[in-house]
């Protein structure tokens, strides 16, 4: 039998679906933490902290400061879709192109 990996060391792989990561994390917590309440708190905390860079960016941008697990899964499910790639490209281009400056006053806009 393999030794158990500490639940705090379970990280989402760069191309791993978020739901698969959550399942691995939940299974480890169920084996290592007795309290149901503690498991739920840890799951919500580690679901953000141990997510990959793409998911973490999406999760930190959620309007709700304390999202539910369902909200987090729904937000991360779009990563990798064409819509998500286009939105990321549009954001990158917008950051590269500052707004034009006014010829009269010299202020942006």
Q: Which domain, by its residues, includes 40?
A: 7-77
Query: 107 with 66, same domain?
Result: no
Question: For the residues 40-69, what does the mean pLDDT come to?
Answer: 93
Query: 53 with 98, same domain?
Result: no
Query: 31 with 53, same domain?
Result: yes
How many CA within 13 A on the CB side of residue 51?
Answer: 25
Whether 2 is covered by a domain: the verdict is no
pLDDT at 88: 60
Query: 53 with 100, same domain?
Result: no
pTM metric for this prediction: 0.69
Whether 95 is covered by a domain: the verdict is yes
- Tens-place pLDDT, residues 9-36: 999 998 899 999 999 999 999 999 999 9
**3-class SS of residue 101:** strand
Question: Would the pLDDT of 81 be above 60?
Answer: no
Q: CA-to-CA distance for 101 and 93, rounded, in angstroms?
A: 18
Lowest mean pLDDT of 2-6, 41-45, 56-60, 90-94, name the range: 90-94
Selection from 63, 75, 62 nearest residue 22 by Cα: 75
Query: 59 with 109, same domain?
Result: no
Q: Rounded to a whole number, what is the largest CA-CA distance in the chain?
A: 75
57: which 2 tokens?
């960016």
DSSP state of 81: S
User: Are 1 and 34 within 8 A, CB to CB?
Assistant: no
Helices (H) and strands (E) counted in the chain, each on its own, are 5, 0
pLDDT at 105: 85
> pLDDT band at residue 79, thresholds of 50, 70 and 90?
confident
Query: 50 with 101, same domain?
Result: no
Whether 26 is covered by a domain: the verdict is yes
């Amino acid at each position: 039998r393999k030794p158990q990996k500490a639940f705090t060391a379970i990280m989402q792989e760069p191309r791993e679906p978020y739901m698969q990561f959550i399942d691995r994390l939940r299974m480890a917590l169920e084996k290592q933490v007795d309290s149901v309440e503690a498991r739920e708190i840890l799951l919500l905390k580690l679901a953000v902290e141990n997510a990959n860079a793409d998911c973490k960016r999406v999760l930190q941008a959620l309007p709700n400061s304390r999202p539910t697990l369902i909200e987090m899964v729904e937000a991360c499910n779009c990563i990798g879709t064409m819509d998500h790639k286009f939105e990321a490209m549009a954001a990158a281009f917008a950051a590269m192109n500052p707004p034009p400056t006014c010829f009269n006053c010299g202020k942006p806009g």
